[in-house]
Amino acid sequence: MTEALVTADKPRHAGRVEQILSFIAWPALVISSASILAFGFSSGHPSFLDVTLRKAWFFNLSYLWMLCWLLLLERRWPWRRAWQRSDGQLPADLAHTLLDKGSVQMTIILLSALPFFAHRGDGWVGTLPLAVQVVIGMVAAEFGLYWAHRLSHEWPIFWRFHAIHHSVRRLWIANTGRFHFIDSNISVVASLPFMLLTGISMDAIIWVSAITAYLGLLTHCNVAMRGGWLDYLFNTPNLHRWHHSPDPAEGNSNYGQNLVLWDQIFGTWLHRPDSELGEIGIVERMPRRFWQQLQVPFVWTRFQRESATADTSTLV
């Protein structure tokens, strides 16, 4: 059966050109962004920056490259046209992103500075080809990310924080970073030690972090893409949209951040290329304002009880 691309409120079958573009969009964006970063690793320009700042410069450039393309594609080639309409959550999305990214970077710096990890990359693993180190680092980090993510769905105390991310009614690149900062830091603490213990080099860690950033944008974008065989290796947009279903039979799946290896091993991989995804979101209630969303995990039970009769305009 030909897979339908959802470019309106209901699926429609794509033409030949659109089918081809839908298959190449994901790898083209990943490869082109990674190529920009690779140039930064090998280039001596800009010469006024030291090596570390140069790599950071090219990472930000590669991230901006992907971001601009996805903004354009979301307007021109949406997966679901209804998701182009504003949900009034852009200020909250951006505020969560800024707080989340800042706190996560601080946690990574503190963990990486611990004496236990001081000589990372000095062993034999650090001498392996960079590409091999990146694969090792991704598989190791994904183990921690998988279980942190899975438990954030299965343990109610963690779900209170993770529900902030799932409360949106549409997916697009602006809510990629919509996480409660405690939720994200739990994931970092659960995954970073696994990656550091592998002994991969700092360059490999930068690459793993960059790939995670790229795929995070792609999994949440509202662009008509098809994964094909990539769905069996990576967490593609097609897989991740099912993860945002409010139906536990669908949403409690595809926990991988970048890879679906651990989903396949532990039986939580869900692949439905010929099925239509319904509405996304959560069954619980979520306040609309950013500051209230930061507070709600700590008063979860009371808020759910008191908001049962609240004005819906105050809820997401």
Question: Model confidence over 217-256: pLDDT tens digits?
Answer: 999 999 999 989 999 999 999 999 999 999 999 999 999 9
Given a cut of 50, whether residue 313 has pLDDT beyond it is yes
SS3 string, 192-246, reads HHHHHHCCCCHHHHHHHHHHHHHHHHHHHCCCCCCCHHHHHCECCHHHHHHHCCC
- Among residues 294, 308, 307, 105, which one has the least CA distance to residue 206? 105
Asked if the model's pLDDT at residue 5 lies above 50, the reply is no
Residue 109 has what pLDDT?
Answer: 78
Closest alpha carbon to 243 in 230, 226, 231, 256 = 256
Q: Is 78 left (phi over 0), alpha (psi -120 to 50) or beta?
A: beta
Contact (CB, 8 A) for 182 and 108: no
* 284 touches 276 (CB < 8 A): no
Domain residue ranges of the chain, discontinuous segments joined by +:
87-283
Q: Which of 12-21, 51-60, 217-226 has the highest mean pLDDT?
A: 217-226
What is the average pLDDT score of the chain?
90
Please answer whether residues 259 and 138 qualify as being in contact, where contact means their C-beta atoms are separated by less than 8 angstroms.
Answer: yes
Identify the CA nearest to 222 among candidates 83, 76, 20, 88: 83
pLDDT digits (tens, 9 = 90+) for 118-170: 666 678 888 999 999 999 999 999 999 999 999 999 999 999 999 999 999 99
Q: What is the rounded distance in angstroms from the CA atom of residue 69 to the CA atom of residue 30?
A: 11
CA–CA separation, 151 vs 255, rounded Å? 10
Q: What is the amino acid identity at position 134? A: V
Residue 134, phi-psi category: left (phi > 0), alpha (psi -120 to 50), beta (remainder)? alpha
What pLDDT is attached to residue 30?
A: 97
Per-residue confidence at 64, pLDDT binned at 50, 70, 90? very high
Residue type, 313: S
Q: Report the candidate in 111, 132, 130, 85 with the shortest Cα–Cα distance to residue 193.
A: 111
The pLDDT value recorded for residue 15 is 72
In whole angstroms, how large is the CA radius of gyration of the chain? 20
